Amino acid sequence: MSVFLITRPKNKNESLVSFIEKKGFKAFSFPLLNLQPLEITSSQLSPLIDADKLIFISQDAVKSLAALSPVINPSAIFFAVGDKTAQTILEFFNKKAVVPNNQDSEGLLELKSLQDIDGDSIVLIKGKGGRPLLAKTLKERRARLNTLNIYQRQKVVGNVSDWFQKWQQQKIDSIVLTSNAAVDVIFSDLTVKGCDWLRTCQFYVVSERTAKYLKTFNVPIDNIHNCNGASDEAILSEVIKQNSEAKNNFVKSHIQEASAIMSDQSISEKEVKQPETANKQNSKPKGNTVAILSLLIALGAAGGFAFNFYSNNQQQALVQQLQMNNQSLEQSLNALKAQIQNNSANLTGAIKNELTSQKLQVETALNASEKNISEQLENSLNEIKNIKVTLNPQEVRSLHRMAEFKAKVEKDFVGAVDILTRLDSLLSEHSDTSELRAVIAEDIQMLKGLSNVPVQDLYLKLHGLLNQVDTLPLNMVKLPSLVNNTEQEVLSEDISDWQANLKHSWSLLVDDFIKVNERTEKIEPLLTKEEQSLIRQQVRFYISQSQTALQNQQVVIYKAALEQANKVLASFFDTNSSAVHNVNNELNQLKSTPLNFNPQLNLASSQLMKEWSL
Residue 548 has a CB neighbour count (10 Å cut-off) of 13
pLDDT value for 312: 54
Under-70 pLDDT residues of the chain? 246-319, 384-390, 451, 477-489, 510-526, 612-614
pLDDT at 93: 93
DSSP state letters, 110-153 = T-GGGTS-TT-EEEEEEESSS-SHHHHHHHHTT-EEEEEEEEEE
Task: For residue 50, give the DSSP letter.
Answer: T
Class (C level, CATH) for 3-32+157-230: alpha beta
Element (H, E) at 565: helix 555-572
So what's the pLDDT on residue 138? 93
Evaluated on CA atoms 161, 162, 164, 168, the torsion sign reads positive
Model confidence pLDDT, tens digit, residues 391-400: 777 778 888 8
Residue 516 confidence (pLDDT): 56
Residues 336/259, Cβ–Cβ less than 8 Å? no
pLDDT at residue 220, rounded to an integer: 92
Phi, psi of 30 (to 5 degrees): -150, 85
Mean pLDDT, the chain, whole residue set: 80
The verdict on pTM exceeding 0.95 is: no
291: helix, coil or strand?
coil
Helices H, strands E: what count in the chain?
21, 10
Is 34-155 in CATH node 3.30.1240.10? no
Q: Which residues of 367-386 are buried (b: 16+ CB within 10 A; e: fewer)?
A: eeeeeeeeeeeeeeeeeeee
